[in-house]
Chains A and B, each alone.
Chain A
């Protein structure tokens, strides 16, 4: 009996020892690291920052305004010129309409990175998990006031854009009715790949700026017609067009 306990405790020591050595090894594994930030920014066009007060003119001379553009970025990774993918920070970021939306990685392995990849939305495990466990401050918390969780159809809105549009039969320039694009559910997860050219050397601190051109949201979309509101399930055709539009409207520098 006593020897069984003895052996057990030895095993336990061995286990603890192995666990602690493997977790220490990691830190000595690579040749050095740089420190990187990735910033996500909303623009209108390729140079202009998104202005939620600006009234724009769309197809058929119909005026509209963008009040809100927010979306989840997840599964961010950098691809090296050798094709190796390096996961970046592992976080879920809720990019808000304005302000600083950043991801940070303090120990990014040195190397030459030629591609940035990320998903717009969240993976299906997270999408169907129990988010009431999360801290209220978490970007994924359904109680964080961002409105990115569907309470009647549990799951995240991956991409949300809202605003006002001139609904008068003959457009007269008054933006008086809402347009709403809420894109979500598992099959709407999209992956974005952007070519970059970033050299990360030991101790360096390079940044990447990612831009979403929100003007591109409206290609093949007629805000004066039937393309005004989608909660995804009620208008999958519009949700699909909106997804296609934003997925190809990202640039980076």
Chain B
């Protein structure tokens, strides 16, 4: 009698536990994806329900390079975000379908899982939600979201992978999650600077070491905004690109006057590979960026007080450039796991 009760009790507990976590249980065909984070990187936050698995990431990668997502099947995420350039674009304003132009420079994509929000004005809170923007933007893929999903769902391979990865039919949920999963695997942290930082003192030459010291100095205060392991504090700042901005930046999403003409501080990892620069792609080369900061920038009322004439010597400029060049991670830009 007692034994039966215990048995039923255990069954109930098992049943409760099983329903409690059944949704996220992985099919035996799928396996957790091991994210190999570089030394010194904190754990990457991953949303509940979209834990990284091999199939989720694989599906996300296929979708990232699938032109079928755009209305006329000519543009994929990978059209504007090129791996050779740390998933940024080589022109100031990328072309969407039919050569249409938006208003902003395509930013590089790496270490995205650490970002507290997305876009230059920070209006989107998650990678999953970010996917809605390019698909529907008239100047990018210009597609109707349900139609895009419907077309992609015709692909039997996607259907099969959706069932293994998310235990459901291919739909908007699967599309946004899988892209988010793949994007979280785009981790970059093996530049010459990182090797130096991890004890290989010969990884940086003397000029780059002087550049690093300048970068971190109070006089230049680059690391005041571009600080931390990902070289950004994700704050919104104005770095004095012009007296009047055509694009008003963060105020577009907050309507707070203090946010006018402010843009998210970008990471400087891989920066030598991501020209042209700034939200509008208005500065063509890194040397010109250094000249910009050296000049103190234009007289914009919102300009941060740290952007002021620096009086850098020619040697200092080339040291700073040498350091910025040492932030390139070629293992990342040539990693076959991220290639089309």
Contacts and interface: CB of A to CB of B under 8 A. Distances in A.
Are A and B bound to each other?
yes
A10 B10 CA distance: 11
Nearest to B254: A233
Interface stretch (A37-45, A56-64, A71-79, A146-154): A146-154
Interface residues of B, number: 37
A141 B9 CA distance: 40
B144 interface: yes
B191 to A, nearest CB: 31
Contacts of A233: 251-255
B125 A128 contact: yes
Contacts of B99: none
B151 to A, nearest CB: 13
Interface string A141-168: 1111100011111100000000000000
B56 to A, nearest CB: 14
B177 interface: yes
B175 to A, nearest CB: 9
B129 interface: yes
Contacts of A54: none
B255 A5 contact: no
A152 B10 CA distance: 49
Interface string B131-166: 111001100000011100100000000000000000
Contacts of B47: 130
A233 B149 CA distance: 30
Contacts of B251: 233
A14 B5 CA distance: 13
Q: How large is the interface on A (under 10, 10 to 19, 20 to 34, 35 or more residues)?
A: 20 to 34
Nearest to A149: B132
A131 B126 CA distance: 11
Contact of B177 (A6, A132, A141, A152): A132
A141 B172 contact: yes
A234 B177 contact: no
A18 interface: no
Nearest to A232: B255
Contacts of B6: 2, 5-6, 9
Given A130-B129, A152-B119, A233-B251, A136 B9 contact: no
Nearest to B12: A12
Given A128-B125, A236-B255, A6 B5 contact: yes
B255 A132 contact: no
Nearest to B131: A132
Given A9-B6, A154-B123, A154-B124, A132 B129 contact: yes
Contacts, number: 90
A142 B149 CA distance: 13
Interface in B97-132: 119, 121, 123-126, 128-129, 131-132
B128 A130 contact: yes
A6 B10 CA distance: 10
Nearest to A153: B123
A6 B6 CA distance: 6
B149 A143 contact: yes
Contacts of A5: 6, 9-10
B253 A153 contact: yes
B137 A151 contact: yes
A226 to B, nearest CB: 17
Interchain residue pairs A-B with the least CB separation, the first 3: A9-B9, A153-B123, A143-B172
23 contacts: A5-B6, A5-B9, A6-B6, A6-B9, A9-B10, A12-B9, A130-B126, A132-B129, A142-B129, A142-B145, A143-B146, A145-B145, A145-B146, A151-B124, A151-B133, A152-B137, A153-B124, A153-B252, A154-B123, A154-B129, A233-B251, A233-B252, A234-B255
Given A151-B133, A233-B254, 9 more contacts: A5-B9, A8-B9, A9-B8, A10-B9, A132-B128, A149-B132, A151-B129, A154-B125, A236-B255
Interface of B: 2, 5-6, 8-10, 12-13, 47, 49, 119, 121, 123-126, 128-129, 131-133, 136-137, 144-146, 149, 171-173, 176-177, 251-255
